[in-house]
Structure 1
Amino acid sequence: MKERVILMNLNKMRKYGIFVALLVLILFFTLTTNAFLTFGNLINVTRQISMLGITSVGMAFVLLLGGIDLSVGSQISLVNIIAAWFMAKAGLNPVFAILIALTVSTSVGFLNGWIIANIKMPPLIVTLASLTILEGLAYIISGGIPIFGFPKSFSVIGQGYISFIPVPVIIMIIIMLIGAFILNKTYFGRYFYAVGGNEEAAELSGINVKRVKYLVYSLSGLFAGIAGILMLSRTNSGQAIAGKGFELDVLTAVVLGGVSINGGYGKMFHVIAGVLIMGVLSNGLVLMNVSQYYQLVIKGLVLLFAVGFDSYQKYVVKSS
């Protein structure tokens, strides 16, 4: 009986705690800084989280399978460099440069999924290896030197507005809606939950688990690539360090948003709240002039808390 009460309370925390935490953070930074709750800063927050939000959709899919993708940051860096090189060095039209870069990131995601599904290597090892390989490739292509000189039209993607809404925010909203639609309205979404809940049972029920993994890791690569294009357009500089460490922010946002690190549970609506918390936290700490090193400590503690809470809930469920 006691375990059941604890479990009910944990479920309530998982459903509503994320939104309470978001409101508390907003209230805290509103009271401690003068600039946080201004129109300009709020627009800035939404623009800053757009890359995080887009990449989080793919990471949410991967975690639902019980996997992980640590290569998203390096995929962003590689896309950054490839698109920049084709535009600035090869003189290619931005549309074609973007398509080539997104094809590369999607292919990398597919390759990750293929290795995980067929060779049965742990996702952690596969994507960690990809992280290292892609980071090295980004440095090899760029020579470690930032790449400049893009057509002015390209900057619209990352810096433009439609009315008062930044274009990256609109792209993020569209992709998050697509992610929610896939999870809630398609059989692919049901397959994600089924494979993450019990892979063996899903396979016995007729689900092609390998193809599901191909699809999910390919989508993760695609969404990371889109984030990389937006980042390149926003900064107007192709850099091999563009996505360095970004995977930890993405992982924190998704787990904080209630997607289980063990797979089989999570909602896109809650992921949005997790992304907002990371955006508000980063922005508020900057406004308070908190050192970047302290920010890393705080973000690490947030990730530790989120994963710890998920693990504790799983332990309570097993015990009951």
Structure 2
Amino acid sequence: MTVEAGALRRLGSDPLRLALLAIRLGPVLILLLLVVIMSMLSPAFLTMLNLGNVLAQSAVIAVLAIGQLLVILTRGIDLSVGSTLALASVTGALVYSAAPSGPVVVLAMLATGMAVGAINGMGYVLGRLPHPFIITLATLSAARGLALWLSGGQPQQGMPEIVQMMGSGSAGWLPYSAFLVAAVALAVVLLTTRMVWGRWIYAVGGNPEGARRTAIPVDRVVISVYVLSGLAAGIAAIVTSGRLNAGSPTFGDLAELDSIAAVVIGGASFLGGRGGVGNALVGALMIGIIRNGMNLLDVDAFLQPIVIGVVIVMAVESDVVRGRLESRFRITQAARS
């Protein structure tokens, strides 16, 4: 290869490298752009009180998105998280009415979420279903119906003080729910980056057959991510119930779509094996900021789903473009070497 040819190849690859970096940082850049735009459109946006509101409103989506991320990393999907949230909240309220103990109520809500997650995971794996869409769609309906039946279709008032504190308490302008989100995020980061189990999740999502050939317990890994997604729904139920001091069968309506949207907007891939907790948090904050900004600007609430839908399409398209750029970059690197 001549010196001139090598120089041309380097010049050709640098714009590609920059474009690839821009696509990868796209969600973060969009988040920063949203913050700048909203601060210009509404003076109230960057006030401490409103930033606290954004964090509080985004907390439930963020927790659900972290659980959903683990499922999507394995090429799966969990459509039941919204209904699981509702069932866990009703269970907590009923337990509180029978045994008014904060720790018992919290454990009951978390156990409910994990139970639904275990049903999803085992139903998918042991039932040899073609896709988790089927079992999680079934539990979406079943969990919501069970919540309606247990509550008689009515909200059940009353939650212990610890639940109310996590849902509506704050340290100044900073809500306690933000600390809960940070704790959940840190735990999942440690699990996925410091433990073999976390590497197994990425391996299963990246190449399921290859993971089986290397003796990775694929079935157990898949079941575990659905259990953790259910646990995240139980944690989200604590936040939601604490904010409203009640358990209701209508809680979490369409929350599954918000959690999926947050993960996708954040840059994770439906093809599995790519994404991180930061992706989920960025996506959740973007959704929270968009909704908060539209409320501040007094935009019709019916337009919010349209805006979120457009953002999702843009995020998915950027994922497609990113995949193509990565392929071109690998080809260019191979040619240079």
TM-score (norm 1): 0.93
**Counterpart residue number, 1:277:** 286
Larger deviation, residues 266-275 vs 147-156: 147-156
Structure 1 position 40, deviation (Å): 0.5
Deviation at 1:20, TM superposition (A): 1.2
1:267-300, Cα deviation, whole Å (9 max, x unpaired): 2223222221111111101111112211011112
**Does residue 241 of structure 1 match 2:241?**
no
Q: Secondary structure at the match of 2:158?
A: coil
Q: Does 1:103 align with 2:111?
A: yes
Tell me the SS of whatever aligns to 2:159: coil
Matching residue within 93, 102, 125 for 1:84: 93
Deviates more, 1:93-102 or 1:160-169: 160-169
**Percent identity of equivalent pairs:** 34
Match of 1:305 among 294, 298, 314: 314
- Name whichever of 13-22 and 148-157 sits farther off: 148-157
**111-120 or 148-157: bigger deviation:** 148-157
Compare CA radii of gyration and give the structure with the larger one: 2
1:137-181 deviation line (CA, Å, top 9, x unaligned) = 111111111111334454212122245432111010011011111
Structure 1 contact 261–310 (Cα < 8 Å) conserved = no
What are the ranges of 5 or more consecutive residues in structure 1 without an aligned counterpart? none
- Aligned-pair distance for 1:5? 7.6
- Say whether 1:207 aligns with 2:190: no
Indicate conservation of the 8 Å contact 2:49/2:173, yes or no: no
Paired residue for 1:115?
123
- In the other structure, the counterpart of 1:32 is 41
Partner Cα distance (1:247, 1:127) in 2: 10
Aligned CA RMSD, in angstroms, stands at: 2.1
Aligned residues, how many? 319
Looking at structure 2, the residues matched to 4 and 231 of structure 1 have their Cα atoms a distance apart, in angstroms, of: 49
Are 1:14 and 1:258, in contact at CA under 8 Å, matched by a contact in 2?
Answer: no
Q: Hey, what does 2:142 align to over in structure 1? A: 133
Q: Deviations over 1:224-281 (max 9, x none)?
A: 1100111001111221111010111111111111111110111222322222111111
- Indicate how the Cα distance of structure 1 residues 154 and 62 shifts in structure 2: closer, same or farther if over 3 A, else same: closer
Cα deviation, 1:160-206, whole Å, max 9, x if unaligned, reads: 22454321110100110111111211111110110000100001001
Q: 1:194 and 1:152, CA in 2 relative to 1: closer, same or farther beyond 3 A?
A: closer
1:258 is paired with a residue whose SS is coil
The CA distance in 2 between the partners of 1:161 and 1:303, in whole Å, is 31
How many angstroms apart in 2 are the aligned matches of 1:41 and 1:199? 44
Runs (4+) of structure 1 moved beyond 6 Å?
A: 3-7
Query: TM-score, structure 2 length as denominator?
Result: 0.88
Q: Provide the secondary structure at the position in 2 that maps to 1:303.
A: helix
1:160-309 to 2 correspondences below 5 Å: 160-162=169-171, 164-309=173-318
Distance in 1 between residues matched to 2:13 and 2:79, nearest whole Å: 35
Q: What is the CA-CA distance between 1:311 and the residue it aligns to?
A: 3.7
- Matched letter for residue 104 of structure 2: F
Give 2:335's aligned residue: none
